[in-house]
Amino acid sequence: MKKWTKVVAAVVAGTMLLALAGCGGAKDSKPAAEKKADKKIVIGFSQVGAESEWRTANTESIKAAAKEAGIELKFSDGQQKQENQVKAIRSFIQQKVDVIAFSPVVETGWDTVLQEAKDAHIPVILTDRAIKLGKGNPEDYYVTFLGSDFIVEGQNAAKWLLEFTKKTDPVNIVELQGTVGSAPAIDRKKGFEEVMKDHPNYKIIKSQTGDFTRAKGKEVMESFLKSAKAEGQKIDVLYAHNDDMAIGAIQAIEEAGLKPGKDIIIVSVDGVKGAFEAMIAGKLNCTVECSPLLGPQLMDAVKNILAGKTLEKRILTKEGVFPADVAAKELPNRKY
Ligand code: GYE
């Protein structure tokens, strides 16, 4: 079957060459609109990396949706480095893609490359994470921004914790932050603190980045446990900005001879399958959902932009909160 497809393709290509030669370079006579219609849409997507289960699901969603929509996707993995993402965006500009989409690893430092995209008249879509510019309005540099509200996620984590623990005596919280300077790390911290401001007995005693990875989550949790012990402090709660860091931390807690989910209450963000499994095993207490399945929305946005439609500046993703007691029932419904 494959062989035949190849043969047919070769014949078609050959015929096309002959036809071109026969035309002697004369312009083809298709009207412009028709030509545009059969031209395949090309988008360049610069991804943050592959740091978490969330990110893997996000990449898969974008690749599958592009295929489904018949859109050619030029995909670049930034390996969590801004310079790689800037390079990728520049190469998309050079290749004159129809639309550039990217998920910025950090909020700042995009001014120059976004100006270059603007000068090249290539529309830009922000997915998942927000940006800040040195000067000027970021909204002038992208058509739309699709993704979750990370401040609400931080607030939801805090609200769940208050509801679950209902403590009036001191509660010592340690926090595993996401990538330094990234929108989800900044906003999940902010949202959580906003709610806790009115509950001063809930105190963040240690807070450090675990870069959204399991390995760093484990490493930093080990150091939290060690220093808390040395200082004679008890850790009551872990708030992790994503599930992967919580899962890494669970290992560290177990290796220290403690029971995650019992001796230390754990709440994290994303809602990946690994978190549901940890909840079913009684080691994680709650995950706040953040959907990575942005692919279909992204492809719709691309098509709408190219069809000349006006898009909403902000397309928000819906989120839920999943405590451990619903985990077993919910796991079969989870898509990531
Ligand atoms: O929570 C984390 C990932 O930007 C929402 O990035 C995303 C975050 C997600 O690495 O797991």
pLDDT in tens, 165-221: 999 999 999 999 999 999 999 999 999 999 999 999 999 999 999 999 999 999 999
Give CATH for domain 150-290.
3.40.50.2300
For residue 59 and ligand 1, the question of a CB distance below 6 A is answered with no
In testing the pocket of ligand 1, which one of 77, 243, 270 has its CB within 8 Å of the most ligand atoms? 270
pLDDT surpassing 80 at residue 42 = yes
pLDDT band at 319 (very low <50, low <70, confident <90, very high): confident
pLDDT surpassing 70 at residue 27 = no
Q: Do the domains 40-147+293-318 and 150-290 sit in the same CATH topology, yes or no? A: yes
**How many angstroms does the Cα of residue 215 sit away from the middle of ligand 1?**
15
- Residue 176 makes CB contacts below 8 A (sequence gap 6+) with 208, 209, 210, 217, 220, 221, 238, 239, 240, 241, 245, 246, 249
pLDDT band at 1 (very low <50, low <70, confident <90, very high): very low
Predicted pLDDT of residue 5: 40
First vs last C-alpha separation in the chain? 34
The atom number, within ligand 1, closest to the CA of 272 reads: 11
CA proximity to 192, closest of 202, 206, 179, 201: 202
For residue 242 and ligand 1, the question of a CB distance below 6 A is answered with yes
The atom number, within ligand 1, closest to the CA of 182 reads: 4
Q: Render pLDDT for 89-147 as a digit per residue (tens, 0 to 9).
A: 999 999 999 999 999 999 999 999 999 999 999 999 999 999 999 999 999 999 999 99
Q: How far apart are CA 60 and CA 304, in angstroms?
A: 22
The neighbouring-strand residues paired with 267 are: 239, 286
Using left for φ > 0, alpha for ψ between -120 and 50, and beta otherwise, residue 148 falls in beta
Opening angle at CA 79, ends 73 and 82, nearest 5: 90
Work out whether the CA dihedral 321, 326, 328, 332 comes out positive or negative.
Answer: negative
Tokens for 160, please give them: 């769940």
| 8-state DSSP, 317 | P
Between the CA of residue 84 and those of 104, 203, 219, what are the distances in Å? 11, 38, 26
Nearest protein CA to atom 8 of ligand 1, as residue: 184
**How many angstroms does the Cα of residue 182 sit away from the middle of ligand 1?**
9
**How many angstroms does the Cα of residue 115 sit away from the middle of ligand 1?**
26
- The pair phi, psi for residue 139, each rounded to 5°, is -60, -20
pLDDT band at 39 (very low <50, low <70, confident <90, very high): confident
For residue 248 and ligand 1, the question of a CB distance below 6 A is answered with no
Q: Is 40-147+293-318 a CATH 3.40.50.800 domain?
A: no
Where are the strands (E) in the chain, listed by range? Answer: 42-47, 72-77, 99-102, 124-127, 144-147, 171-177, 202-209, 237-240, 265-270, 286-289, 314-316, 321-323
The neighbouring-strand residues paired with 264 are: 260
| 8-state DSSP, 334 | -
Tokens for 51, please give them: 């740091």
For residue 54 and ligand 1, the question of a CB distance below 6 A is answered with yes
Share the mean pLDDT of the chain: 91
Domain ranges for the chain, please list them.
40-147+293-318, 150-290
